[in-house]
Amino acid sequence: MAIPEITTFDGYEDKDRKLDELVVITHSDGGKKYRVGAMKYCIDERCVGRKGYGIDPTDPKTAAMQFQKNAEFWGNENKNPFVQYMHTYLKETAPTAEEAMRLTNEIIGPVVKEHLAITVAHEEDHDKSLYHTHTYRDATNFNDGSMIYSDNTTNYDMAQHTADVIGKPVQLIVKYDYNGKGWKCPTVFVPQNNEDE
């Protein structure tokens, strides 16, 4: 797939959206402090569903330590700790927390074969959406120590896989700093017919 022209934005929020969204959050500086903060954020009072893949989904400090230990084992402790995926589902796509978790766990299924991860569902009513999920994917492969990067190839693959799983078009948004700066991909990812595979 050719790289489309990028539309940048500052503090993007589309109140009139008609698509399910995959937001890839790439800011990850801060080391151990960032890991702990990210786990406290995802396992907060909005959390209505959680699942860990080699990670304790109930205790933020333990979860952060587990991610840290994998990175240290492979000598990646000072590299990007996570690739974060936030799936924001329209009300008709995921009317319940259980459905939001089911969809997200199916979407990330291939990822967790080689990467530690934690997925949580947050309940927040945003007019078009009741539930969104956060998946923190360890950037370090636990089998060989290789790193995954949040580049266009990785992001486009995840967006396409999301569309295939939910059976609906998906908008990809990439945020790359704490102030919400990033870009909205002009390509909408639509489900692919895989009957011939």
User: pLDDT tens across 33-44, in order?
Assistant: 888 999 999 998
Look at residue 31 in the predicted model and tell me its pLDDT. Answer: 73
Look at residue 90 in the predicted model and tell me its pLDDT. Answer: 96
The CATH architecture one would assign to domain 21-180 is 2-Layer Sandwich (3.30)
Residues in the chain: 197
Q: Does 195 score more than 80 pLDDT?
A: no
Q: Does 24 score more than 80 pLDDT?
A: yes
CA–CA separation, 99 and 118 (whole Å): 17
Residues 6+ apart with CB under 8 A from 54: 66, 112, 116, 117, 142
Dihedral sign of CA atoms 73, 32, 65, 46 in order: negative
Look at residue 28 in the predicted model and tell me its pLDDT. Answer: 67
User: pLDDT tens across 149-171, in order?
Assistant: 888 899 999 999 999 999 999 99
Interior/surface letters 105-127, b for 16+ CB within 10 angstroms, e for the rest: bebbeebbeebbbbbbbbeeeee
Look at residue 3 in the predicted model and tell me its pLDDT. Answer: 39
Q: Tell me the H-state helices in 85-170.
A: 97-108, 152-166
Q: Average pLDDT over the chain, rounded to whole?
A: 87
**Beta sheet of 131-141, edge-to-edge order:** 7-9, 182-189, 170-175, 20-25, 82-88, 131-141, 115-123, 47-53
Q: Does 192 score more than 60 pLDDT?
A: yes
Q: Does 133 score more than 70 pLDDT?
A: yes
